[in-house]
């Protein structure tokens, strides 16, 4: 009995140390942003490509109001409801944040005080962003109007309230590689960067496994809507027979080849895509058309 207890204590200690080790928050290297200076004009493109306003603008904000990043948007998921925080340049938002802080958040999902963010903030995609783009984005965010809206707590049940456990999620789900391995030409490389990293299209259009991570073997094949209502369509060549021109037109206007207009969460994605250059929308279409036919 005594031996058994001793064994149990050792096992618990070992398990605790392993959990502590596996769930440590990661940070960007201290010199990642050395010599990189941000340009707000270029940052605006990254802001729209990254869809920050879709989650961080007040719900139902339109046009200019989408630049006030007051938070409050509710994201319903099987784990509970996440409420996007204020990220405007104010005391309630990102006042005092450095580029390094923003880098830690976007690349590692780690907060300035060293805790894990929930992956409802799509850093699993943003982790591929370049330091230059993050510095540019920071410069742009600094120019936006402040809001003093206070953050609301997420509405989650146990055990999802324990942030430390997100470290395990990151171990299972943060994949450093690209899904489309061969990009070849520059337009495709740009498309891959816009879709897989900044635009985080896979976060909605790819199904998730039991951990809530993206099932990359079914990339862009469509998925149940996390809100529980309806399905998000597949956009890989196997699931969508639109031409590249159709896709570019849709991303600009929200109109499908059958003259339907886009609905659901795609409405705000299209409001963002309209701010990109035609070349960038074409690069996104080229990427989608280049995904393997067999999936």
Residues 71, 84: contact at Cβ < 8 Å?
yes
- Smallest separation, CB 118 to ligand HEC (Å): 4
Residue found under tokens 């990359």:
216
> Dihedral of CA 139/145/150/153: which sign?
negative
| Count of CB atoms situated within 10 Å of the CB of 191 | 25
Contact region for ligand HEC (CB under 6 A) — 18-26, 59-67, 171-179, 257-265? 257-265
**Residues in region 144-203 near ligand HEC by CB under 6 A:** 195, 199-201, 203
**Residues in region 78-137 near ligand HEC by CB under 6 A:** 82, 84-85, 87, 94, 102, 105, 111, 117-118, 120-122, 137
- The two tokens of residue 150 are 């206070």
Nearest-angstrom CA–CA distance, 239 and 231: 13
Residue found under tokens 């816009």:
194
- Smallest separation, CB 10 to ligand HEC (Å): 34
| DSSP element (H, E) containing 223 | strand 223-224
| DSSP element (H, E) containing 45 | helix 40-50
Nearest-angstrom CA–CA distance, 55 and 154: 14
29, burial (CB in 10 Å: exposed 0-12, middle 13-18, buried 19+): exposed
- Smallest separation, CB 125 to ligand HEC (Å): 9
Closest among 208, 215, 288 to 251, alpha carbons compared: 288
- Smallest separation, CB 29 to ligand HEC (Å): 19
131, burial (CB in 10 Å: exposed 0-12, middle 13-18, buried 19+): buried
Long-range contacts of 206-211 (CB under 8 A, 24+ apart): 211/169, 211/172, 211/173
Contact region for ligand HEC (CB under 6 A) — 15-23, 24-32, 179-187, 258-266? 258-266
Q: 28-57 mask for ligand HEC (x: CB under 6 A)? A: ----------------------xxx-xxx-
Q: Is residue 265 a contact point for ligand HEC (CB under 6 A)?
A: yes
Of 77, 174, 262, 289, the residue at the interface with ligand HEC (CB under 6 A) is: 262
- Smallest separation, CB 93 to ligand HEC (Å): 7
- Smallest separation, CB 186 to ligand HEC (Å): 19
Q: Is residue 25 a contact point for ligand HEC (CB under 6 A)?
A: no
Of 240, 249, 252, 289, the residue at the interface with ligand HEC (CB under 6 A) is: 240
Q: Is residue 72 a contact point for ligand HEC (CB under 6 A)?
A: no
What residues make contact with ligand HEC under the rule CB under 6 A?
50-52, 54-56, 75, 82, 84-85, 87, 94, 102, 105, 111, 117-118, 120-122, 137, 195, 199-201, 203-205, 232-233, 235, 240, 247, 250, 256, 262-266, 269, 284
């Amino acid at each position: 009995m005594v031996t058994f207890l001793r064994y149990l204590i050792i096992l618990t200690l070992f398990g605790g140390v392993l959990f502590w080790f596996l769930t440590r928050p990661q940070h960007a290297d201290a010199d990642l942003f050395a010599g990189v200076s941000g340009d707000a004009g270029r940052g605006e493109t990254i802001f729209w490509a990254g869809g920050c306003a879709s989650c961080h603008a007040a719900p139902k904000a339109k046009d200019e109001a989408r630049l006030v990043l007051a938070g409050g948007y509710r994201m319903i998921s099987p784990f509970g409801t996440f409420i996007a925080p204020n990220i405007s340049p104010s005391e309630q938002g990102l006042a005092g944040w450095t580029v390094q802080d923003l880098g830690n958040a976007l690349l590692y999902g780690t907060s300035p005080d060293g805790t894990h963010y929930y992956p409802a903030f799509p850093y699993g995609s943003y982790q591929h962003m370049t330091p230059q783009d993050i510095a540019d984005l920071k410069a742009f965010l600094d120019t936006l109007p402040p809001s003093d809206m206070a953050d609301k707590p997420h509405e989650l049940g146990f055990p999802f309230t324990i942030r430390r456990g997100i470290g395990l999620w990151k171990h299972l789900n943060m994949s450093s590689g690209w899904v489309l391995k061969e990009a070849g030409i520059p337009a495709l490389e740009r498309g891959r960067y816009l879709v897989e990293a900044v635009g985080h299209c896979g976060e909605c259009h790819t199904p998730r496994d039991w951990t809530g991570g993206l099932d990359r073997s079914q990339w862009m094949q469509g998925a149940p809507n996390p809100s529980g209502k309806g399905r998000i369509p597949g956009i890989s060549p196997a699931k969508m027979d639109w031409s590249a021109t159709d896709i570019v037109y849709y991303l600009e206007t929200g109109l499908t080849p059958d003259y339907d207009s886009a609905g659901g969460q795609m409405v705000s994605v299209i409001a963002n895509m309209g701010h990109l250059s035609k070349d960038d929308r074409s690069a996104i279409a080229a990427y989608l058309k280049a995904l393997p036919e067999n999936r």
